[in-house]
Amino acid sequence: MKKTLLALSLGFFLAACNQNSVAQDAADENVDLKKEVSMAQSFYDFKVTDINGEEFDMSSLKGKRLLIVNTASECGYTPQYKTLQELYDKHGGDKFVIIGFPCNQFGGQEPGSNEEIKSFCEKNYGVSFPMMDKVAVKGDEVHPLYKWLTEKDLNGVDDARVSWNFNKFLIDENGNWVAHHGSGKSPMSDEIVAFATGK
């Protein structure tokens, strides 16, 4: 009987240890994410991965106005790739850059691999502005950059919920958060064109 009780006690102890270990691992991951966000004092402190798997340092964009957009290949707003490219063709370059972040969190409308996304963008819309790795833009897995973009405590300006594909964030040439626009805002709207041209 004592052996049975000892075995049961040992089993409960090991199970509890395992649960504590899993919980601790999750807590450590959460702490690491919070640390990465808290250490990023400005937009330029972030590093991301581009669609080719290479590191992309946001500090390389100092002095440029930016439009950051979460994209998808199977969305009703997907044709905005055309107007985004039109905006980039007309005003992109030394002073203005568009950066696309594919995301599969809205209706599962970006299911492809990075290679498939890149091929789709180039073949169908001639996209030449920088495209990044597929990321989460909301929820527990939100990318640290999007956490900064959507939380006033971090960006210092406003809270902004990414409501669907093709939400747009404007960042000025000094790395300051300027505005957030929903999916329905055309990339060629007067407001965005004025921003792109520095007016």
Residue type, 82: K
Question: Which residues, in sequence order, are CB contacts of 45 under 8 Å at separation 6+?
Answer: 39, 58, 59
Note the residue count of the chain.
199
| pLDDT for res 24 | 56
- Computed over every residue of the chain, the mean pLDDT equals 87
pLDDT tier at 34, thresholds 50, 70, 90: very low
pLDDT tier at 12, thresholds 50, 70, 90: very low
The arithmetic mean of pLDDT across residues 126-147, rounded, is: 97
Residue positions annotated with a catalytic role: 75
| pLDDT for res 13 | 44
* Chain mean position to CA 188: 22
Query: Is residue 190's pLDDT more than 80?
Result: yes
